[in-house]
Amino acid sequence: MGTDAIFMDYNARPHRVRLVRSYLESETAPQMAWPAKSPDLNPIEHARDMLGRRIEGRSVSPGTLHELQQALLQEWALLPQQAINDTIASMPRRCQACISARGYNTRY
């Protein structure tokens, strides 16, 4: 990891397993505290969702793992950078909504 990396997770079970925790501790990776079950605060989840919708919108579904990989790479290249920028720019609003909701679900 780079020296300025911060590990972000939203308390998902795969992020909490002993192996991951041990690795992060051994790397002394700074971790950002997140409310449980709050993927709406993670811009990566929104980019993944945009990508998934683009794949689902294809007229022919990928049939093999290789075809899925190729489709994902193609759609990622076509994903408008502005859509990702807009999601990142919405983070202060999303964080404030989460604070206002005391960590519960928000309208986002």
Q: How many domains does the chain have?
A: 2
pLDDT digits (tens, 9 = 90+) for 65-100: 888 899 999 999 999 999 999 998 998 888 888 888
Residue 43 tokens, joined: 């811009």
**What domain range includes position 52?**
35-101
Of 63, 11, 71, 69, the C-alpha closest to 42 is 11
C-alpha–C-alpha distance, residues 70 and 81, integer Å: 19
pLDDT digits (tens, 9 = 90+) for 2-49: 567 777 766 667 767 888 778 878 887 787 776 666 667 778 888 889
* 68 and 46 fall within a common domain: yes
Q: Is residue 106 part of a domain?
A: no
Pairing of strands 31-32, 7-8: parallel
* 46 and 93 fall within a common domain: yes
* 40 and 86 fall within a common domain: yes
Q: Is residue 20 part of a domain?
A: yes
Residue 12 tokens, joined: 């998902």
SS3 (DSSP) at 50: helix
Q: Is residue 108 part of a domain?
A: no
In this prediction, residue 40 carries a pLDDT of 72
